[in-house]
Amino acid sequence: MEIVPGVYRVEGIAGSNAVLLAGEQMAVVDTGFPGNGEAIVGYIRSIGRSPRDLRWIINTHHHFDHSGSADELHQLTGASIVAHRDEVVPAKDGRKLLRKGVEGEPIPIWYRWLFHGHRPGVPDRPIHDTVVHETVDHGDRLEVLGGLRFLHTPGHTPGSLTLVLEGQQMLFLGDSVINNVNRLSRPLMWDRKKRRQLDASLRSLRELAVDIACFGHGPPLQEAVMERVRSLTDRPYDMPTWQIVLKNWRTLRKFYRTNRQRRGVPEGVGS
């Protein structure tokens, strides 16, 4: 689906959204679960472009529903894998590896439960290392479609990125905000310190002039974007987890069922 000229939401992807930025040089923002590499390459061909023109594979953050096919896609196209410098860990041989949900950050049971049955064979946690070729920091920019700027918005993960496509007044929020179709929410997070950090990150975006927002989960939003993002941080985000679960149990149930039934993750949960 072409969201605006040159910006495509890749179809047939399992896990998070994958968005293709097809300027003279091309980039993809997130790749979903493992196993999407061929689908993304096929999509690039379907819009009449060569997979060889893909220059960057950008990870909004390390979670494997977003970074799962980064390595596959790198093997297929030669594109560089990009992440924020706080989203990588050094390997003994000097390479930079994308964080994994292994040390200190196991994938929680509730998350596995939500994605259970989403796709048979999806591992509980990332099974292989993803080498990151380029790290970026707050304010860095890539020459894609009139300029893609990186903003460091930690909270959901230490190196979560928000991207601004300057020529299109377009924002990519990763999992910092989830679009539940009828409302926006912040991701479900147990740790209150991380929630405060995420809120500070979202408040830092308040003054941006943006017409369109893309999310890691859910469809793009084209109306009253910043008004709605701003109103999120006006709501309290310090509710105990059990209350969030109670408040959202219908959404959680729907999310679980939808995942069981078909590919794609149309909805998220949070507060």
Residues near Zn ion, by CB under 5 A = 16, 63, 65, 175, 216
3-class secondary structure, 22 = strand
Instruction: Give the C-alpha separation, 188 to 200, whole Å.
Output: 16
What is the rounded CA–CA span in Å between residue 119 and residue 154? 29
Q: Which amino acid is at 103?
A: E
Q: Which is nearer to Zn ion, 55 or 66 (CB)?
A: 66
| Closer to Zn ion by Cβ: residue 58 or 145 | 58
CB 19 within 8 A of CB 214: yes
Q: How far is the CB of 45 from Zn ion (least distance, A)?
A: 26
CB of 175 to Zn ion, least distance (A): 4
Q: Which of 60, 247, 254, 242 is CA-nearest to residue 158?
A: 60
Q: For residue 62, list its beta bridge partners.
A: none
Nearer to Zn ion, 63 or 74 (CB): 63
Cβ at position 49, least distance to Zn ion in Å: 26
CA distance 89 to 4: 35
Residue 234: count of CB within 10 angstroms of its CB: 7
When the beta carbons of 96 and 217 are compared against Zn ion, the nearer one is: 217
Which residue, 181 or 224, has its beta carbon nearer to Zn ion? 181
Of 53, 55, 54, 72, nearest to 15 by C-alpha is 72
Sequence-distant (6+) residues with CB within 8 A of 238 are 192, 195, 196
CB 66, min distance to Zn ion, A: 6
In the complex, minimum distance from the CB of residue 78 to Zn ion, in angstroms, rounded to a whole number? 26
Q: How many CB atoms lie within 10 A of CB 147?
A: 14
**Smallest separation (angstroms) from Zn ion to the CB of 46:** 25
* Minimum distance of Zn ion from residue 61's CB (angstroms): 6
Length of the chain: 271
Comparing CB distances to Zn ion, the nearer of 65 and 71 is 65
